[in-house]
Amino acid sequence: MKISPASASRGPPALTVARYTAVEALRSGLPWLAAACVLAVLGLAGFLSQVAITEATALQASVSGALLRACAVFLVAAHVVASATREMNDKGLELALALPISRPAYYLGKLLGFACIGALLSSLFALPLLFWAKPLDLAAWWSSLALELALVAAAALFFASALVQTVAAIAATAGLYLLGRSIAAIQAIAGGPLAGDSLAENAMRWIVDALALLLPRLDAVTRSDWLLYGAPPTGEFAPALAGVGLYLVLLTAAGLFDFSRKNL
């Protein structure tokens, strides 16, 4: 990515970086991959509905919602990591930082650009779900997915910047995301009636609880059952989204901290 001083001076530098980050994504294979995901998921959902004996519509909506969410997360994480590591390897980052732009502005600009791509992706993925879901429920799902993708972009950018290696960054992002989606179930198992009361088992429970404190509650957002049974009431929806938003701030702060200390 090249930013000319002339273009950078047209507005806040972070916005210029964000714009070029979004343009880079739109000119890559990402839009085609996203379109292929939509077609593949719709095809699979159509096939499954043919073998369902009841709830065919619910099956299509829930499976499409769940798979499109997973596709969106994978695409955003892979794109962010690939883009950030390529920029570091090509020395594009050094070139960009030689321009009159602060490190925080550059990092925030990149994140904003990736978040915009996430929002575009969530809009594209929400469109086919209009076939089966009520617009208001879908709006809740869409806004939640957009925020979730911003969080995934923040995690991927942080790990790409900190770990530098592509595979390590993707694995770390996937690990954080999967733990975020399953930690509530892990806690339920750890605290269930079958769990023993020995010291080792209690220690395991504390470790799981401590781990949960450091993870976002991703199982509480962008749920495909919102498309079937309706979005949760505001009292439940807003805190879930606020939790993800808070974690987004935490990841951004961690990323800024690491990026500011980085020796290029």
Partner 1 sequence: MSRFGSSDARPVSEVPRWISCVLVAALAVQAASHFTRREGAPAATDLPNAPSAQALQLASLGEPAALARLAMIWLQAFDSGADNSVPYRQLDYVRLAAWLRAILAIDPRSEYPLFAAARIYAEVADPVKSRLMLDFIAREFAADPNRRWPALAHAALIAKHRLKDLPLARRYAAAILQRATADSVPLWAKQMEVFILEDMNELEAAKVMLGGLLAAGRIRDVAERRFLQGRLEELEQRLKAEKRGSTR
Residue 49 is a binding residue for partner 1 (CB under 8 A)? yes
Token pair listed for 227: 């498309």
Tell me the Cα Rg of the chain: 20
Kindly tell me which residue out of 28, 74, 168, 245 binds partner 1, with binding defined by CB under 8 A: 28
Kindly tell me which residue out of 6, 51, 200, 213 binds partner 1, with binding defined by CB under 8 A: 51
Binding mask 162-181 for partner 1 (x = CB under 8 A): ----------------x--x
* Separation CA 54–CA 31 (nearest Å): 34
CA dist 245 to 150, 217, 241, 259, Å?
A: 9, 11, 6, 21
Binding mask 61-100 for partner 1 (x = CB under 8 A): -xx-xxx-x-------------------------------
Name the nearest CA neighbour of 28 among 91, 96, 76, 90: 76
Residue 263 is a binding residue for partner 1 (CB under 8 A)? no
Name the nearest CA neighbour of 132 among 58, 38, 42: 58
Residues 88/257/79/122 CA torsion (nearest 10 deg): -160
Smallest gap from Cβ 70 to partner 1, in A, equals 8
Angle at CA of residue 86, ends 124 and 142, nearest 5°:
20
Q: Measured from the CB atom, is 192 or 233 closer to partner 1?
A: 192
184-213 residues in contact with partner 1 (CB under 8 A) are: 184-186, 188-189, 192
Q: Do 52 and 97 touch, CB atoms closer than 8 A?
A: no
Q: Measured from the CB atom, is 60 or 143 closer to partner 1?
A: 60
CA dist 212 to 183, 195, 249, Å?
A: 6, 18, 17
Token pair listed for 221: 């957002």
Interface stretch with partner 1, choices 46-54, 231-239, 243-251, 255-263 (CB under 8 A): 46-54
Smallest gap from Cβ 10 to partner 1, in A, equals 29
Contact residues for partner 1 (CB under 8 A)?
28-29, 48-49, 51-59, 62-63, 65-67, 69, 178, 181-182, 184-186, 188-189, 192, 218-220, 223-225, 228-229
